[in-house]
Amino acid sequence: MNFKQITLLLVGTCLLLTGQAQITKRNCGTMEHLQMLKDLDPVLEQNMRDIEDYTTEYIANGGNSGSRAVVTIPVVVHVLYNTSAQNISDALIQAQISQLNLDFARLNADASSTPAAFASVAANTNVQFCLAQRDPNGNATTGIVRKTTTVTSFSTNDAVKKTSTGGDDAWASSSYLNLWVCNLGGGLLGYAQFPGGPAATDGVVVLYTSVGSRNVPGSAAPYNYGRTATHEVGHWLNLYHIWGDDGTACTGSDNVSDTPNQADENYGCPTFPTISCSNGPNGDMFMNYMDYTDDGCMNMFTIGQTARIQSLFGSGGSRVGLLTSLGCQTPSTSACGTPSGLASSAITTTAATVSWSAVSGAVSYNLQYKTSAATTWTTVANATTSRALTGLAAGTVYNYQVQAVCSAASSNYSAASSFTTTSAGGATCSNNYESNNTRTSGTSIAVNTDIVSMLGTSGDNDYFKFTNTTAAKNIYVTLTNLPLDYDLKLYNSSGTTLATSQNGGTTAEGIKYNNAAVGTYYARVYGYNNAYTASACYTLRASTSSTAFRFGDEEQNDSNKPMSDMQYSLYPNPSSGMVNLDMYFDEAMEKVNVRVFDMMGREVRAYEFNEAVGNVKANIDMNDAANGIYHVVISSPAGKEMKKMIINR
C-alpha cells in the first residue's frame, strides 16, 4: 500500500455486531466520539499529528530494526454489570488475556491459516499483557474491578469510563491498559481510543459476550474468540483499519507499507484471494486483525504494523511510560521505606551537595536530579546518604528526588525537593523579616506598602500580618518580582485558607478578596516544590481600598471586560486526590465552567454550573490522576481565571 499522510479524523473506533454488510465506518459512532473528544480537548488533533510524525521518523530511522525486548503491559479489567450474566467469570477474563498474548506474539493456533503469500510479512509484535498485580497505590490486586451499574447498556460516549455516569474511572493510563467490559447497545462490539487522547478516557471498551478465546469462547459467535479485544487493542496501539479510514474506496491508507491496498472492510470469512483495488493476485489481507472479518478468520499482524506499535515505546513515544510501570509486579512486603529529610547545602554557582535521611534496610540509593525546566532526569547510584553534584548551571533551579534500594525491592521515589545555584555576579538582598515561618510568628506589615524579602533557606515560609478597616474592607495582595516559582495564600485570623494564587514559573501572583470582614489577615509566601534562593528577593504588597478590586484590571483575566468580583479557594493544594474548589460570586453568572488541564494541554476534568451566584462549590476528584501539575480554568461570561493545582502522593 502506498504511504500517504492520514487525515487525523479518527480518535475512537468501533465494531458493530449486527447488520455488518450495511455498515461503514460512519455508522459505528466514530465521528460522534471524535466530536465529543474534540469538544473536550482542542489540542487533540495536533497531538495525533505529532504522534504520526514521530512514528514516521522512528520507522525511517530504523527504530524497529533488530531484536527488541518484549513490552509487557499491565491490564486492569473494569467489569460493569447490570445483570448477573454480564458479570463475566475470571476464567473468561484470563482466557481473553491469554488470547491477546497469543495473537500479539503470533503464537495463535490458527497462525498456520495465514496464506503463504502473506506469511513472510506476518509478525510477532513483541507486546504481551498481564492482569495487573499492583494497583496505582502500590497495593496487591487481581487486576479485575467489578461494579454493578444501573445503566442497562453503554454507547461510545465514554460513560462507561466514569464512575459519575455509571461506569468506573480509569487507572493511570501511563501505567495501565484500561479494558472496560460491559453491555454495549446498538449492536456495538467495541471501541478504542488512539494514543494522544484524554488520559481519563484512555483504553478499550468491549462487549461482555465477546470476551474469551478460541479455547474458552464467549457467547457472541462468530465474534467470541476474543478477537474484538485484539482488534481494539490494535487501535489503542496506533493501528488503523487495514483499508484506511481517511478516504473512499481504494484511496484510504493505514500508513503501513506491507498491507495491500483494499477497497473497504471485509465481513464473514472470505475466500482467498479476495481481490479489490487491482491488488491481485493475492488481493485483500482480510485475515489481518485490523479488518472486520469473523474472529475465526483473523490470524495476523504484519511487520509494518509491528513497527508502528513499537514506535510508541521508543524514547519520546506516547506510551513509553508503560515500560516502567510496576503494574505487573507483585508488591513486596520487604520493600524499602521511601527516603525523607531531603536537604541541600554548599551551594555555589556550579555545585551543590544534596542529602537525605538513612532508610532501614537500604543497601544503596538512586538519586535523580534535573533542572526545573527539564523533562528528563539524570540518575546516579549512591552508596551513602549524600551526593556532591558538580557542573551545574549558575542561577538555576534544580529538582532532585531519592529512591532507596533494598535487597528484595526498591522504594518509590521521594517527593521532589529543590535548590537554586548562586547567580554569577548577581546582587544579593536581605531576608528582612525573619523569623516569620509560621502564622503565629507572622510579621506585622503596613498596608499599601511594598515589602521586600526573600525565601532564603530550604523550607522557608514567610507569613505577613495585616488588617483592614471598615473604611477600606477590600483586600488585594500581590507578589511580584519573583526570582523563582513562588506561590501565595491568604488566611483569616483563625488560619482558614481564604484564597490561593499558584501561577507557574516567575509569573506574578495576586489574590483579591473583596468585601472582607474587618479583622486580621495573613499572607503567606512559599516556594513551589520548596524553591528558594539566597541571592534574590520578591516584592509583596497588601493593599486595602474602599472600592472593590476588579478582576478585569489585572493580568489574570484574559477578557477585555471586567469580571464580576469573585473570591475562590482551591484546597488542599498540593493534594493526594480530592481537591475542593470554593467560589463566591457577587453577581449572578448565567454559566460557569470549571475545566482541569494537564501539562500537555489535555482536559481531564470538566464541571458546569448554571445561574451561579453566591457560594458555589466543586469537588475535583483527582484520585486516579497521575502526579504532576494541572491547571484549573474557571470561565464565566465575564472572564477567565487560571490557577495551578498540584497532585502529589
Helices 44-60 and 303-311, axial angle in degrees (round to 10): 120
Cβ proximity of 437 and 496 under 8 Å: no
CA dihedral 62, 68, 70, 73 (to 10 degrees): -30
User: Cell for 424?
Assistant: 554569577
Which residues, other chains included, contact 34 with Cβ-Cβ below 8 Å and sequence gap of 6+? 9, 10, 11, 12
Question: Can you tell me whether residue 1 is helix, strand or coil?
Answer: coil
In whole angstroms, what is the distance from residue 604 CA to residue 386 CA? 38
| Catalytic (active site) residue 555 | no
How many other CB atoms are there within 10 angstroms of residue 24's CB atom?
A: 9
CA distance 316 to 298: 32
Rounded Cα gap, residues 320 and 242, in angstroms: 25
Among 201, 195, 192, smallest CA distance to 50 is for 195
Beta bridge partners of 512: 476
At 370, is the secondary structure helix, strand, or coil?
strand
State how far the Cα of 121 lies from the Cα of 313, in Å rounded to an integer.
Answer: 21
The span from the CA of 480 to the CA of 539, in Å, is 5
Is the separation of the CB atoms in 166 and 22 below 8 Å?
A: no
CB 99 within 8 A of CB 212: yes
DSSP alpha helices (H): ranges in 527-572?
Answer: none
* Site of grid cell 493505514: 254
Phi, psi of 436 (to 5 degrees): -135, 45
Which 3 state secondary structure label does DSSP give 625?
coil
Angstrom CA distances, 196 to 45, 173, 193, 240, stand at: 8, 11, 8, 14
Q: What is the DSSP string of 50-80?
A: HHHHHHHHHHHTTTT-S--PPEEEEEEEEEE
508 near 555, Cβ under 8 Å? yes
Query: Which residue type, as a one-letter code, is found at position 515?
Result: N
Marked catalytic residue, from 32, 52, 57, 232: 232
CA-to-CA separations, 214 to 179, 287, 534, 548, in angstroms, rounded: 19, 16, 67, 71
Catalytic residues: 232
